[in-house]
């Protein structure tokens, strides 16, 4: 796929194949086009050229909200919670596509209590069950990231994309996140993670895709990426390359 | 369980208050004000669904109010329809026009939506003034009969409908649809990432809001007895906006309180003569400046401080 903004070629001829059930990391220096690629995958942007498939489904032209119904969920680099709503309401909103009661039931009964239990379980999964009644905007930064993960998981995705989930987290929180990502993956969810935190990437990813200046640079296992001179050059500049 | 008991108690209290109101304010003039108040509650509820819960700054509510009034009156006066049948069609017409406007407006946000909806209100007003063959223009339509004989009965009717609408909207916003609407209000991109079709649900709220405003409009002509376009001037949209904001938008009870206060306040200030509008304006400004969340939020802050 390719995508330009004015004269800026944010993503150029990037071709990726993400194996099902893997944890796939997208890395690269700032401005490499990782977030743009994620926005192309999730449908926030449409590519200028190229093709995009999820299982048998052609995703080109499909708006973001329709892709969610196919099983694609995501979190955002800059946290986008529903700040005025409670933690529980945030997660319940994530169950939107699974709400199937007829309209008149909502008019007559109001809250049907559906998915309440599941939402609490998801809050417990990210360690926030005790704060379910608080407003999301009042949470500390790291917890907000975890809440966004719980909210996205409520859509019950088969492909889960996270845009820099470890940004702004302390070491303990990164550790917690790492364990959760592995658990999500073990449940049969394919994970794509854009990340700068190399500890996380090297520990959790099965495959790593490196981008630079909007173009693909290298793809391989974490070990191969660490040893690749071109990757090191892109990150550290030419003189440090072996 | 506790919440259900609370809701039942609140509903019971509201019904008792409605039943008592015409006997406390038992002069014909004040009973008339009560009818206006019940209509304003309906209008504030309708706008609150669109603005307070879905975050759409809609300044076209006066147009839907007017469409409800004119469509129902014309069907009754020109075609001899029964009031309720005419009201049903008028509500449908207002709702459909709301949906039609929403089809364009949902792509707009904030000020742009405000301007587009205000434009719609201006156009509707001009149509009512200039389409004289049908609407009689500024000459107005006379001798309109209310659906029930006495002012007190009309108050009970409109207030009963307002209570019913309150309960239905209250259920709706507590349901998963309420979470969906508030999610859109908070962040549309984020809502889309959860599979929410923001355009669809914004149009849904807009359409329902328009239909309820149209419903309020059905009772207005019969109450006044005459129908002129000036009753649906764009200023009315701002009055409704004031009711929602002063009461507390995005809460159920806030706009109801706002509608009651802003209906009675100008009446109570009549003794001040020319100063009346100045005091009214000052009071509004003070509320917006010092109680940005409206009276409901101010009350909750006060209660928290006392405890």
Q: Tens of pLDDT along A180-218?
A: 999 999 999 999 999 988 889 999 999 999 999 999 999
For residue A103, give both structure tokens. 């309209």
Q: ipTM score of the complex?
A: 0.91
Q: Check residue B273 and give its pLDDT.
A: 75
If DSSP codes are grouped into helix, strand and coil, which group holds residue B281? helix
Q: Check residue B281 and give its pLDDT.
A: 82
Residue A66 CA to residue A74 CA, distance in Å, equals 13
Q: Check residue A79 and give its pLDDT.
A: 94
A41-84 tens-digit pLDDT: 999 999 999 999 999 899 999 999 999 999 999 999 999 999 99
A69-83, A223-237, B129-143, B219-233, range with the lowest pLDDT: A223-237
CATH topology of domain A1-71+157-242: Rossmann fold (3.40.50)
Q: What is the mean pLDDT of residues A17-33?
A: 91
Contact status of B189 with chain A (Cβ, < 8 Å): yes
Domain boundaries for CATH 3.40.50.300 within chain A: 1-71+157-242
Residue A233 CA to residue A109 CA, distance in Å, equals 62
Q: Check residue B282 and give its pLDDT.
A: 85
Position B75 pLDDT exceeds 80: yes
Query: Which residue in chain A has the smallest CA separation from B176?
Result: A111
Return the closest-CA partner of residue A19 out of A158, A169, A141: A158
Nearest-CA distance B190 → chain A (Å): 6
Q: How confident is the model at residue A239 (pLDDT cuts 50, 70, 90)?
A: low
A116-161 tens-digit pLDDT: 999 999 999 999 999 999 999 999 999 999 999 999 999 999 999 9
Position B61 pLDDT exceeds 90: yes
CB atoms near residue B177 (< 10 Å): 22
Q: What is the mean pLDDT of residues B177-197?
A: 95
Return the closest-CA partner of residue B61 out of B98, B96, B92, B89: B98
Contact status of A237 with chain B (Cβ, < 8 Å): no
Residue A170 CA to residue B8 CA, distance in Å, equals 48
Query: Which residue in chain B has the smallest CA separation from A160?
Result: B193
Q: Check residue A108 and give its pLDDT.
A: 87
A111 and B175 within 8 Å at the Cβ level: the answer is: yes
Q: Check residue A110 and give its pLDDT.
A: 85
B175 and A94 within 8 Å at the Cβ level: the answer is: no
Query: Are the CB atoms for B66 and B73 separated by under 8 Å?
Result: no
A31-35, A60-64, B11-15, B272-276, range with the lowest pLDDT: B272-276
B102-124 tens-digit pLDDT: 988 888 777 888 899 999 999 99
Contact status of B69 with chain A (Cβ, < 8 Å): no
Q: How confident is the model at residue B267 (pLDDT cuts 50, 70, 90)?
A: confident
Nearest-CA distance A238 → chain B (Å): 39
Average per-residue pLDDT for chain B:
91
Q: Check residue A240 and give its pLDDT.
A: 53
B176 and A108 within 8 Å at the Cβ level: the answer is: no
Q: Check residue A238 and give its pLDDT.
A: 57
């Amino acid at each position: 796929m390719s995508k330009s903004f004015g004269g800026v070629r944010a993503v150029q001829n990037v071709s990726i194949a993400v194996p099902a059930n893997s944890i796939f990391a997208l890395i690269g220096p700032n401005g490499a086009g990782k977030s743009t690629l994620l926005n192309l995958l999730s449908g926030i942007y449409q590519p200028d050229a190229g093709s995009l498939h999820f299982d048998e489904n052609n995703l080109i032209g499909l708006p973001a909200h329709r892709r969610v119904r196919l099983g694609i969920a995501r979190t955002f680099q800059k946290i986008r919670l529903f700040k005025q709503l409670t933690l529980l309401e945030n997660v319940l909103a994530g169950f939107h596509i699974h709400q199937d009661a007829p309209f008149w039931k909502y008019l007559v009964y109001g809250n049907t209590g559906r998915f309440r239990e599941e939402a609490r379980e998801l809050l417990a999964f990210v360690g926030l069950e005790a704060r379910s009644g608080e407003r999301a905007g009042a949470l500390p930064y790291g917890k907000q990231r975890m809440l966004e993960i719980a909210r996205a998981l409520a859509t019950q995705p088969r492909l889960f994309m996270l845009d820099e989930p470890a940004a702004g987290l302390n070491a303990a929180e990164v550790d917690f996140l790492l364990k959760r990502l592995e658990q999500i993956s073990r449940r049969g969810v394919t994970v794509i993670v854009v990340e700068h935190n190399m500890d996380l990437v090297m520990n959790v990813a099965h495959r790593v895709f490196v981008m630079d200046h909007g173009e693909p640079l290298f793809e391989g296992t974490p070990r191969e990426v660490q040893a690749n001179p071109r990757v090191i050059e892109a990150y550290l500049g030419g003189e440090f390359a072996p | 369980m506790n919440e259900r008991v609370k809701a039942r108690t609140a509903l019971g209290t509201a019904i008792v208050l409605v039943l008592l109101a015409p006997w406390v304010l038992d002069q014909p003039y004040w009973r008339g004000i009560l009818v206006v108040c019940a209509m304003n509650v309906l209008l504030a509820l309708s706008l609150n669904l669109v603005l307070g819960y879905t975050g759409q700054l809609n300044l076209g509510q006066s147009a839907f109010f007017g469409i409800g009034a004119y469509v129902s009156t014309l069907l009754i006066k020109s075609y001899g329809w029964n009031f309720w049948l005419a009201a049903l069609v008028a509500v449908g017409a207002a709702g459909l026009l709301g949906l039609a406007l929403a089809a364009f407006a949902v792509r707009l946000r904030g000020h742009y939506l405000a301007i587009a909806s205000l434009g719609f209100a201006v156009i509707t007003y001009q149509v009512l003034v200039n389409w004289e063959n049908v609407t009689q223009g500024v000459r107005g339509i006379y001798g309109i009969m209310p659906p029930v004989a006495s002012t007190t009965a009309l108050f009970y009717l409109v207030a009963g409908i307002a209570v019913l609408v309150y309960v239905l909207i209250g259920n709706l916003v507590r349901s998963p649809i309420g979470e969906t609407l508030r999610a859109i209000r908070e962040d549309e991109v984020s809502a889309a990432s959860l599979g929410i079709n923001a355009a669809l649900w914004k149009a849904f709220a807009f359409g329902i809001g328009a239909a309820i405003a149209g419903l309020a409009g059905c009772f207005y002509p019969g109450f006044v007895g005459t129908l002129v376009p000036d009753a649906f001037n764009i200023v009315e949209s701002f009055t409704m906006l004031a009711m929602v904001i002063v009461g507390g938008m995005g809460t159920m009870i806030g706009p109801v309180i706002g509608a009651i206060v802003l209906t009675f306040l100008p009446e109570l200030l009549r003794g001040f003569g020319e100063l009346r509008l100045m005091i009214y304006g000052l009071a509004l400004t003070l509320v917006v400046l010092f109680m940005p969340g409206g009276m409901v939020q101010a009350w909750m802050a006060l209660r928290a401080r006392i405890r």
